[in-house]
Structure 1
């Protein structure tokens, strides 16, 4: 967003670009209200309006946060985390998943592998529920794939996204419906 705002003035030096937004009120004397600032300030305001406050620091999956609460012996926090994550999933405007949805999960580099991603497709299941099938992954074939790739594929599940949502975390997921992103978990 910042780059787009800075490029509104062709050939401008980004360090010298400022933004001014003016509201001109009707009536005698033409009263004005203004906001002015730097492009990055406007970009942050726009991002916050669209996606909420930018998060800093490492994000954890709901399951990892619940495990931390469990280690602290904080049953209330553990339940709040798990119930809140479930409510966040089921109250999302795009929920429930539909046949044709595409789900991508991004994994950070860790002790077992480099960073990689998996892409799944939601399909109608044989017994009336939904299935989630692995389409592809970006883990090099030289890695030991056993247990790493495709572990979230499910057959005939009433909620194929729940394991992925809780274990990988919504911050790692991108969900596409009808060619449009409906959930962008890694947006910054």
Structure 2
């Protein structure tokens, strides 16, 4: 049975303090915007946008080092651990945080042309392998995500392992992949540049 990892109380306090800046707000609906306005013609600016948890983690890392150098889990795996521990609050929080982390990312939502690579560690069914998906516009008005290639050897049983996150005409094609595989396994490339590097 997997054990539920406890969040460092200092990180929890930082996260709750940032979320508490707007009393009564729903944490999953919050985002933090930091803007630098540069003097000069046109008043250019630089900005950073993220979830309260992402800002708290940046602050925590600057003060104390990385808060969790252990095994990374997908939002769904964290929720399942909490469910096994009979902690409904932690289960709901894991799902809300996973949704917030995706929807508050500066590159979100997915766009046609995005490439999404997912890396799978070696397990009981296969060696380590990767898949790359391409996001395309669909005829129904939403987006599709099609398997472009994979690195699983042809000698392995491909059924159920390869292409399971392909979707057709989906308003949010990354949602299932983000929750099940986890953001730490994903690399997303837009216009030739990585916009999300999992595990980094």
1:180 corresponds to: 193
Question: What is the alpha-carbon distance in structure 1 between the residues aligned to residue 79 and residue 148 of structure 2?
Answer: 30
Instruction: Select the structure of larger CA radius of gyration.
Output: 1
Query: Deviations for 1:59-110, whole angstroms, at most 9, x for unmatched residues?
Result: 1111011001001111100000000100010000000000000000000000
**Is 2:115 aligned against 1:86?**
no
Gaps of 5+ in 2: 1-60
Alpha-carbon distance change, 54 to 174 in structure 1, aligned in 2, over 3 angstroms: farther
Offset, 1:54: 7.4
Structural RMSD (CA):
1.6
**1:121 and 2:134 are equivalent in the alignment:** yes
**Cα distance in structure 2, aligned partners of 1:141 and 1:94:** 34
Alignment of 1:124-143 (within 5 A): 124-143=137-156
In the alignment, the residues of structure 2 paired with residue 164 and residue 152 of structure 1 have an alpha-carbon distance, to the nearest angstrom, of 6
Deviation at 1:55, TM superposition (A): 4.3
- Are 2:141 and 1:106 equivalent residues in the alignment? no
Distance in 1 (alpha carbons) for counterparts of 2:181 and 2:130: 11
| Partner SS state of residue 81, structure 1 | helix
TM-score, normalized by length of structure 1?
0.71
| Structure 1 gaps, min length 5 | 1-47
2:69 match = 56
Deviation at 1:53, TM superposition (A): 3.2
- 3-state SS of the aligned residue for 2:133? strand
Please list every run of at least 4 consecutive aligned residues from structure 1 whose deviation after the TM superposition is greater than 6 angstroms. Answer: none
Total equivalences in the alignment:
139
**In structure 2, what is the Cα distance between the partners aligned to 1:157 and 1:53?**
35
Inter-CA distance 113–61: structure 2 relative to 1 (3 Å threshold): same
The separation in 2 between residues aligned to 1:148 and 1:167, in whole angstroms, is 13
| Aligned equivalent of 2:176, options 142, 152, 163 | 163
